């Protein structure tokens, strides 16, 4: 499947939001990264997360949207926001590819490439990602990193399953960010079909961006 390249357009997504009454903390974090990846690969030039901090007009008991709680303690979504801003920054082009239930968004950042991956399936999935470099860092939705080495020109990455306990299921499983040295040059990340992998996870569903 050839990736569809999207140049940055002068379009903004001004309120991407996810209430903690409708989803789990983990889904809220996953949504932040997925929303950024989908928006930029669709041509958006800016994305605004609603909101940074819960305040008196949106208290914890009514609309807990904030990346920070009212007492300034961070939700997992804050770490996800920090990961997105760190590993998507300065991208030249972002493009998206889908193979079955797996979504891959590639951010070509010049001297680095970040590939964001997640599955919309309930079951965890192991996916083969075509390598740009011989080694990379794998970053989870909380910003934790670990080193990986490519084997036979590819990385094998395990993606957690989506919760989907509410319908419609609009949030995939926790994303993984593959960060490599070098340019993507239009590389299609998903060179082979995704395959099921063990270890299920659980949670809930939907959010919005407009």
Between 5 and 122, residue with greater pLDDT: 122
Give the integer Cα–Cα distance in Å for 210 and 208. Answer: 7
Would you kindly state where each structural domain of the chain is located, as residue ranges? 10-88, 93-196
Counting residues of the chain whose pLDDT is more than 70, the rounded percentage is 68
Give the integer Cα–Cα distance in Å for 156 and 139. Answer: 14
Strands of the 46-50 sheet, one edge to the other: 46-50, 12-17, 208-209
Q: Once rounded to an integer, what is the mean pLDDT over residues 176-198?
A: 81
Counting residues of the chain whose pLDDT is more than 90, the rounded percentage is 50
Query: Partners of 45 in the beta sheet?
Result: none
The string of DSSP letters for 110-168 reads SSEEEEEEEE-SSS-EEEEEE-SSSEEEEE-TTS-EEEEE-BTTEEEEEEPPP---SSS
Confidence of residue 26 (pLDDT cuts 50, 70, 90): confident
Q: 5-14, 56-65, 119-128: which range is least confident on average?
A: 5-14
Q: Which pLDDT score, from 0 to 100, does residue 16 have?
A: 43
Confidence of residue 202 (pLDDT cuts 50, 70, 90): very low
Confidence of residue 14 (pLDDT cuts 50, 70, 90): very low
Residues 6+ apart with CB under 8 A from 174: 26, 29, 30, 118, 140, 141, 159, 160, 201
As given in the structure block, the two tokens for residue 85 are 């801003």
User: Of 64, 75, 24, 41, which Cα lies nearest the Cα of 201?
Assistant: 24
Q: Which pLDDT score, from 0 to 100, does residue 51 have?
A: 66
- Residue 203, pLDDT > 70, answer no
Q: What is the CATH number of domain 93-196?
A: 2.60.40.1180
Q: Label the pairing between strands 154-159 and 125-130.
A: antiparallel
Mean pLDDT of the chain: 79
Give the integer Cα–Cα distance in Å for 76 and 18. Answer: 12
DSSP H/E element including 97 = strand 93-99
- Residue 37, pLDDT > 70, answer yes
Cβ neighbours, 10 Å, residue 22: 16
Give the integer Cα–Cα distance in Å for 112 and 83. Answer: 15
């Amino acid at each position: 499947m050839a990736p569809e390249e999207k140049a940055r357009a002068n379009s903004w997504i001004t309120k991407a939001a996810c209430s903690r009454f409708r989803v789990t903390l983990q889904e809220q974090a996953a949504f932040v990264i997925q929303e950024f990846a989908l928006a930029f690969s669709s041509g958006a030039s800016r994305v605004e997360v609603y909101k940074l901090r819960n305040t008196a007009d949106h208290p914890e008991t009514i609309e807990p949207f904030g990346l920070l709680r009212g007492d300034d303690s961070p939700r997992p979504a804050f770490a996800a926001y920090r990961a997105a801003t760190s590993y998507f920054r300065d991208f030249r082009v972002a493009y998206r590819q889908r193979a079955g239930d797996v979504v891959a968004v590639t951010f070509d950042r010049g001297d680095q490439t970040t590939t964001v991956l997640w599955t919309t399936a309930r079951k965890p999935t192991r996916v083969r990602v075509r390598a740009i470099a011989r080694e990379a860092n794998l970053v989870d939705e909380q910003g934790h990193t670990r080193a990986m080495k490519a084997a036979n020109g590819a990385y094998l990455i395990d993606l957690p399953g989506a919760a989907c306990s509410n319908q419609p299921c609009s949030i995939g499983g926790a994303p993984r960010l593959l960060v490599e040295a070098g340019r993507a040059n239009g590389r299609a990340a998903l060179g082979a079909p995704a395959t099921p992998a063990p270890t299920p996870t659980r949670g809930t569903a939907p959010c919005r961006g407009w």
